Amino acid sequence: MNTKSSLQEYRVWDRSIRWFHWINVLSVLTLMAIGLVIMNSKALGITDEGKILLKTWHVYVAYVFVLNLVWRIVWGFVGSRFSRWGAILPIGENYKQQRRAFMTSLKQGKAVGFMGHNPLARWMVTMLFVMLTTMAVTGLVLAGTDIYKPPFGSYFKSWVAESPETESLVQPYSDTGVNEAAYKEMRDFRSPFKEVHEIGFFVLAALVILHLLGVIITECRERNGLVSAMFTGRKVFSHKPLDADD
Ligand code: HEM
C-alpha cells in the first residue's frame, strides 16, 4: 500500500520561529557548557584571569541568546498563527477544548494530530520560556555585578566605587578604587540572583531532557515529521489535525 499518497502537508512554523529555535539551541548549549566550567572552576584549578575570560565569553554568547529571546517574545504578539502566545500558553477556551480532545484520544489509545503544540507541549514550552527568561534576567544582573558588563555594569561600578573619580579604576576581581562596605552590599544584593541562576541551570537542563523525550514520544505516536518541521516549517498528517483551519 502506498501510504505516502494519503499524507497532506501543512505549513506550521514560520521562518522566524525556525531561526529562533536553532539559535536558541546553539546558544543555550554553549552557555550550559561554559557555565558548567565556571561552576567547577575551583576544582579545575582555573586562575582569576581564566575565570574572567570564561565569564566574558559566557556573557558574549548570552547577548545573542537574550536578543534572540526578546525577538521571540515580540514575535509571539505579531507573528504567524502558531507562533503567537495565544497558541502557546495553556490558557483560554481553545486550550480547554483541545485538552479535552487530547485526553479523550489518550484514553482511547488513538493519536490525534496537532498542527501547533499539543496541550501537554504547551505546558512544556511555557515552562521552557519561563526558565529561559529567568536565566536571561538573572544572567544580565550577574554580568553587571561580576564583570561590570552592560546593560547594568556601569550602574554597579558606580555602586562599589570609592568615589566618582575611581569608577574608571574598578575592574573585575580587583579591589582598586573599590569601597569595601559598598562592595559587600552589592555582593549581598547579587547573591539571590546567583542562586537562582545556578538552580535555573539544573531546572532548565531537566526541562531540555523532558522536551527531547516529549518530541521523540510524539514523533513515534503521531508520525507527523515533528523534527523535520523545525527545518522545513511543514508537518505531514494522514488525518485532518484538530487545530487545522476549516
Ligand atoms: C540558558 C541560559 C544560561 C545558562 C544555561 C547559564 C548557565 C550558567 C551557569 C551554569 C553558570 C555557573 C553558575 C555558578 O558558578 O554557580 C553561569 C554563570 C554566569 N552566567 Fe550564565 N547562563 C545562562 C544565561 C546567562 C545570561 C543571559 C547571562 C548574561 C548576559 C549570563 C551571565 C552569567 C555570569 C556573569 C555568570 C558568572 C556568575 C558567577 O560565577 O559569579 N548567563 N551561567
Q: With a 6 A CB cut-off, is 32 part of the ligand 1 pocket? A: yes
Query: pLDDT at position 5, please?
Result: 53
Q: What is the domain count for the chain?
A: 1
Of residues 112 and 176, the one with the higher pLDDT is 176
Does a structural domain hold residue 23? Answer: yes
Does a structural domain hold residue 217? Answer: yes
Long-range contacts of 142-145 (CB under 8 A, 24+ apart): 142/190, 142/193, 142/194, 142/197, 143/55, 143/59, 143/62, 145/186, 145/187, 145/189, 145/190, 145/193
CA–CA separation, 202 vs 131, rounded Å?
A: 10
The residue-averaged pLDDT of 218-244 equals 92
Q: How confident is residue 246, by pLDDT bands cut at 50, 70 and 90?
A: low
Q: What is the mean pLDDT of the chain?
A: 95
Taking the whole predicted model, whether its pTM rises above 0.85 is answered as: yes
C-alpha distances (whole Å) from 178 to each of 92, 160, 171, 181, 206 are 52, 6, 9, 9, 39
Does a structural domain hold residue 246? Answer: no
Please tell me the distance between residue 117's alpha carbon and the centre of ligand 1 in angstroms: 29
Query: pLDDT at position 1, please?
Result: 37
What's CA 45's distance to the chain center, in Å?
Answer: 30
What is the share, in percent, of the chain residues with pLDDT greater than 70? Answer: 98
**CATH number, residue 22:** 1.20.950.20
Tens digits of residue pLDDT in 80-92: 999 999 999 999 9
CA–CA separation, 72 vs 78, rounded Å?
A: 10
Sign of the four-CA dihedral 74, 32, 199, 205: positive
Q: How confident is residue 204, by pLDDT bands cut at 50, 70 and 90?
A: very high
Query: pLDDT at position 21, please?
Result: 98
Does a structural domain hold residue 72? Answer: yes
Choice from 24, 27, 28, 31 to test ligand 1 binding pocket (greatest atom count within 8 A of CB): 31
Does a structural domain hold residue 5? Answer: no
Q: With a 6 A CB cut-off, is 190 part of the ligand 1 pocket? A: no
Choice from 23, 27, 38, 66 to test ligand 1 binding pocket (greatest atom count within 8 A of CB): 38
Domain containing 222: what range? 10-237
Q: With a 6 A CB cut-off, is 113 part of the ligand 1 pocket? A: no
Tens digits of residue pLDDT in 127-171: 999 999 999 999 999 999 999 999 999 999 999 999 999 999 999
Choice from 58, 63, 70, 209 to test ligand 1 binding pocket (greatest atom count within 8 A of CB): 58
Does a structural domain hold residue 244? Answer: no
Please determine, for residue 181, whether its predicted confidence score (pLDDT) is greater than 60. Answer: yes
Query: pLDDT at position 64, please?
Result: 98
Does a structural domain hold residue 214? Answer: yes
Q: With a 6 A CB cut-off, is 226 part of the ligand 1 pocket? A: no
Please determine, for residue 2, whether its predicted confidence score (pLDDT) is greater than 70. Answer: no
Does a structural domain hold residue 3? Answer: no
Q: Which atom of ligand 1 is nearest to the CA of 142?
A: 35
Tens digits of residue pLDDT in 91-121: 999 999 999 999 999 899 887 889 999 999 9
